[in-house]
Amino acid sequence: MTNITIQDIANEAGVSKATVSRVLNNSQAVDPITRNRIQTIIEKRHFVPSATARNLSKRTSDTIGFVVPEIDNPFFGDILRGVIEIIDANNLTLICCNTDDNMDKDLKALEMLKEQRVRGLLYTPAIDYSTEEEKKRLGKILKEMQTPVVLMDRRISLADVGGVYFDDYHGMYNATKALIEHGHTKIAIINASLDRVLARDRRDGYMAALKDAGIEPDPRYNLEGNYRMTQAYELSKKLLAMEDRPTAVITCNNRTSLGFYKALRERGEKTPRDIALIGLDRIEELDVMGYEMNYIERDAKELGKRAIEMLINRMAFPGKAVRDVILDTHVKIYKI
């Protein structure tokens, strides 16, 4: 028993498959009686037309690619949830890829999505593609996909590629400022390597706030890891063991915050008692537990929604100029 086709339906209804296609797509007037007969047969047989055949014939598809570096990080989980809500409402289908921040996997995912002839791409690049050569290559790959792409969270300036980002600069600026206003001057930042835009943005906001307050930044307080928990944990251990250690710390994503907490706990210390902390991103579980973590709030689910909406818009109006969307961040302080 093989899959039933439009031809089977046509045979049973005594019409041509063109007519069946027309009732399937509601694309042209069909005699109501015939239409009814066909519909009955379709339902009785549970016929579902092949998207593959339809896509080939129409030279398009309703499939969207979704590429992120860390699908099991709640940050991307929230983004995904936002995306899927809109995907469902628009009868699209989503292909998910995970890259582990690894360029090879990133490129491989892109190639696979090209093979699938996706209709649009939602993309958080694994790396920054920061050298001119890398960037040019990526630009070419994306262009050859011949489909709109919307970047999420990680910015790469590429012609014709829009994106949705958070205003991390001001988030960091305001967090740093808040710490300063509470009397802190020795403020550390646990960041990722500065060859990443995201890291530079965050560092810049932090630096600007220090500068505006006339505080000389201490390079020893400027830590660079990779946004993973284990790295942040190692960095934090060193930081906390310093002779002249900071009185406040800013962490640059949810994993970093956890790494810091872990190191702090192992020393039998607590925040804010022993050291102040503001983290990037709320950690839901801690919030529920009444753990009063200060954080810079970013609505990841909203980012997902905005990104897919922008993508759909671009699919509808291919010619329209692209424009980035920057989402606000808010600093939430319990106690410093």
Partner DNA sequence: CTGAAAGCGCTTACAG
Residue 27, contacted partner among DNA, its own copies, none, CB below 5-8 A by kind: DNA
Question: Of 150, 160, 95, 143, whose CA–CA distance to 124 is shortest?
Answer: 150
Pick one of 288, 316, 319, 323: the residue that binds its own copies (CB under 8 A): 288
The answer to whether 51 contacts its own copies (rule: CB under 8 A) is: yes
User: 10 Å Cβ neighbour count for 240?
Assistant: 19
Residue pair 315/119 in contact (Cβ under 8 Å)? The answer is yes
The answer to whether 21 contacts DNA (rule: CB under 7 A) is: yes
Listed ranges 14-22, 95-103, 135-143, 285-293: which one lies at the site for DNA (CB under 7 A): 14-22
The answer to whether 1 contacts its own copies (rule: CB under 8 A) is: yes
Backbone angles phi, psi at 68, to 5 degrees: -135, 160
**Secondary structure (3-state) at 158:** coil
The answer to whether 7 contacts DNA (rule: CB under 7 A) is: yes
Residue pair 225/254 in contact (Cβ under 8 Å)? The answer is no
Pick 52 or 268: Cβ nearer DNA: 52
The answer to whether 93 contacts DNA (rule: CB under 7 A) is: no
What is the C-alpha separation between 56 and 51, in angstroms, rounded? 8
Pick one of 36, 40, 44, 53: the residue that binds DNA (CB under 7 A): 53
Residue pair 92/63 in contact (Cβ under 8 Å)? The answer is yes
Cβ 119 to its own copies, closest distance in Å? Answer: 12
- What does the radius of gyration of the chain's CA atoms come to, in whole angstroms? 26
Cβ 108 to its own copies, closest distance in Å? Answer: 8
Residue 183, contacted partner among its own copies, DNA, none, CB below 5-8 A by kind: none
Q: On the CB side of 62, how many CA atoms lie within 13 Å of its CA?
A: 12
Pick one of 49, 139, 217, 272: the residue that binds DNA (CB under 7 A): 49
Residue pair 280/166 in contact (Cβ under 8 Å)? The answer is no
> Which residue stretches of 90-228 are H helix?
103-115, 132-145, 168-181, 197-212
Residue pair 326/299 in contact (Cβ under 8 Å)? The answer is no
The answer to whether 229 contacts its own copies (rule: CB under 8 A) is: yes
Pick one of 13, 42, 78, 296: the residue that binds its own copies (CB under 8 A): 78
Pick one of 115, 216, 243, 244: the residue that binds its own copies (CB under 8 A): 115
Cβ 207 to its own copies, closest distance in Å? Answer: 29
Letters for 245-284 (x = contact with its own copies by CB under 8 A, - = none) are: -------------x--xx--x-----------------xx
Spell out the residues 6+ positions from residue 7 whose beta carbon is closer than 8 angstroms to its own: 17
> How is residue 163 written in tokens?
């994106």
The answer to whether 50 contacts its own copies (rule: CB under 8 A) is: yes
**Secondary structure (3-state) at 89:** helix
The answer to whether 45 contacts DNA (rule: CB under 7 A) is: no
CA angle 216, 200, 173 (to 5 degrees): 55
Pick 9 or 310: Cβ nearer DNA: 9
The answer to whether 96 contacts its own copies (rule: CB under 8 A) is: yes
Give residues in contact with DNA (CB under 7 A). 2-3, 5-7, 14-19, 21-22, 24-25, 27-32, 34-35, 49-50, 52-54, 56-59
